[in-house]
């Protein structure tokens, strides 16, 4: 009995940590990833609301089509009407969609406003897209490093194929971060679904986006989602949230490890463009 119970719980025990401590796409996933932070939560709410609106409209149109097909079929309606105008219906099919759009606009503009207007951040991270890796820069810490995908034949332990990287973007939990997204060559896109981050990375231009990393140690997985060349599929993004003391420890080590990285390199490239 206990043995049976153990085998029943075993898959849950092995899958559980990856559910709790990371946000990544799951096999056969249908809906959005679990939202993290206020922007992602509001985006998910808007998505769920729109899904209801779209479903109701689609069902209504489908119902009308079925009704028309049956009610006005040739053998039931041999002499078709020659009506070409109906003022009441024309007013209705103009006014009702306008009302629906206004109802959709309210939560949509609210979300846009929050995304664009918040100006208080705990830290700034500059992200630069390259063919085919990301460069992360902490301007306040004078720290920058490259982040490459771990090749399939070098994956160890619970590392995820095509998602884990050698040096993730480490951030402290419970932090509001402003991301400056730049590019060095072709167009890339910085996309982390669970944090609702998605912004183009262009050369010679800086895009801004912010997110709030919630409390809790967790890995947030993302990918470049702008087709950018042969290795487009091999430049994943890992944002690793750790607690404050862990972050300070990491920062100290990283400053030594990446001391040789020339933080000016990206700036020069940006200026030349």
Positions touching Cu ion (CB under 5 A) are 188, 224, 228
String of b and e for 13-32 (b: at least 16 CB within 10 Å)?
Answer: eeeeeeeeebbbeeeeeeee
93: exposed, middle or buried (Cβ count in 10 Å: 0-12, 13-18, 19+): exposed
42: left (phi over 0), alpha (psi -120 to 50) or beta: alpha
CB under 8 Å, gap of 24 or more: what pairs does 40-48 form? 40/194, 40/195, 40/196, 40/211, 42/107, 42/110, 42/111, 42/114, 43/111, 43/196, 44/196, 45/107, 46/107, 46/108, 46/111
CA–CA distance, 7 with 160 (Å, rounded to integer): 24
CA distance 48 to 66: 27
Least separation in angstroms between CB 200 and Cu ion = 10
Q: For residues 182 and 200, give the distance between their C-alpha atoms in angstroms, rounded to a whole number.
A: 8
Angle, vertex CA 94, rays to CA 92 and CA 98, nearest 5: 110
């Amino acid at each position: 009995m206990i043995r049976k119970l153990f085998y029943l719980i075993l898959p849950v025990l092995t899958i559980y940590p990856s559910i709790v401590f990371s946000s990544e796409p799951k096999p056969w996933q249908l809906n959005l990833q679990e939202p993290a932070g206020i922007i992602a939560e509001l985006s998910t709410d808007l998505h769920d609301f729109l899904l209801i609106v779209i479903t109701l409209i689609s069902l209504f149109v489908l119902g009308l089509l079925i009704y028309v097909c049956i009610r006005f079929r040739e053998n039931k309606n041999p002499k078709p009407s020659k009506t070409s105008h109906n003022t009441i219906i024309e007013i209705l099919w103009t006014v009702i969609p306008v009302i629906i759009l206004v109802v959709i606009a309210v939560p949509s503009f609210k979300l846009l406003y929050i995304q664009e207007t918040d100006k208080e951040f705990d830290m700034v991270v500059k992200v630069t897209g390259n063919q085919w890796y990301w460069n992360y820069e902490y301007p306040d810490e004078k720290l920058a490093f490259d982040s490459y995908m771990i090749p399939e034949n070098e994956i160890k332990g619970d590392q995820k194929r095509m998602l884990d990287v050698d040096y993730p973007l480490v951030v402290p939990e419970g932090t509001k971060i402003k991301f400056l997204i730049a590019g060095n060559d072709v167009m890339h896109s910085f996309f982390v679904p669970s944090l609702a981050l998605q912004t183009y990375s262009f050369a010679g231009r800086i895009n801004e986006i912010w997110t709030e990393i919630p409390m809790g140690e967790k890995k947030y997985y993302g990918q470049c989602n702008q087709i950018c060349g042969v290795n487009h599929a091999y430049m994943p993004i890992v944002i690793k949230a750790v607690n404050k003391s862990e972050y300070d420890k990491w920062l100290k080590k990283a400053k030594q490890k990446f001391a040789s990285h020339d933080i000016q390199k990206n700036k020069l490239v940006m200026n030349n463009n």
